[in-house]
Amino acid sequence: MTLSPLLAQHIARRPQRIELLRHIAEQGSITRAAKAAGLSYKGAWDAIDELNNLAHTPLVERVVGGKGGGGARLSEEGQRMLRLYEKLQALQAQVLEAAEAANDLDLLGRLMLRTSARNQLHGRVSAIEAQGRNDHIILDLGAGLNLRAQITHDSTQTLSLAPGAGVVALIKAGWLCVLPVDVAGVPGHNCLQGLLEQVLLQDQGPCEMRIGLANGQTLCALSPLGSVREGEPVNVWFDPANVLLGTPL
């Protein structure tokens, strides 16, 4: 079967975030890697935070004083992922050649969705607590961090959740409240302590904040600046009902 030009382009085009990893490996500069991958500097760091959050260990490590500004390098896991991707490209070509119709590819595209949630944290189910028609799913995020999600019992069954299962928790940035560690939050809400690494001031509305967690993952919050400052420990509060869970198909 001969590939159409559209399919050939599909094979040749690397996903933008894989491109970003490749350019980081080659140049050691976030600024240059972002430009080469067609991303803004902020977009590049958003992508890196999300990749690091979803990986078992960070794929990208920050380097102080890197050339070209915003120094970074791939971890051993990041290098391994790049090598794996090259192998997957070869397999992808074989799969596309075997596709009998364009509808096959359309179906695959619908099954692999992106999400608008800025925060995607990887964890494992440590316990499931029944609460009437709802279940409270407790996730172990590593480094002593735990997260509680409230979903329906039907959703628990649909996702086939059980202790030990790997899960991705999705949380929109606007659902997070960032407070100093000495200020009490809402009883019954999740509370994750971390370090306020960066504050991006907005002309209007809440500030964008990046909070580094002890497990190496990063949270992005849209919250009023208040009395929190960069470099200080903070607590991030959010309702268990605002945590969405996802599992591999």
Question: Position 59: which residue type?
Answer: L
Query: Which residues have C-beta within 8 Å of that of residue 9, sequence separation ≥ 6?
Result: none
The reply to whether 5-111 and 115-249 are identical in fold is no
Q: What is the pLDDT of residue 4?
A: 39
Classify 180 as helix, strand or coil. Answer: strand
| CA distances in angstroms from 180 to 53, 112, 234, listed in the order given | 23, 38, 5
Angle between helices 5-12 and 76-98 in degrees, nearest 10: 170
Q: Which two tokens stand for residue 5?
A: 């030009």
* Mean pLDDT, 10 residues at a time, the chain of 249 residues: 39 66 90 90 87 83 63 88 77 59 54 72 95 96 96 92 93 95 94 95 86 95 90 97 86
Full-model pTM: 0.66
Residue ranges per domain, the chain? 5-111, 115-249
Give the residue ranges of DSSP H helices in the chain. 5-12, 16-27, 30-37, 41-54, 76-98, 102-111, 153-158
Burial of 198 (0-12, 13-18, 19+ CB in 10 A): middle
Q: What is the pLDDT of residue 58?
A: 86
5-111 is classed in which CATH architecture?
Orthogonal Bundle (1.10)
Q: What is the pLDDT of residue 7?
A: 34
Q: What is the pLDDT of residue 91?
A: 65
Q: What is the pLDDT of residue 94?
A: 62
**CATH number of the domain at 115-249, out of 2.40.50.100, 3.90.79.10, 3.40.50.1370, 3.40.980.10?**
2.40.50.100
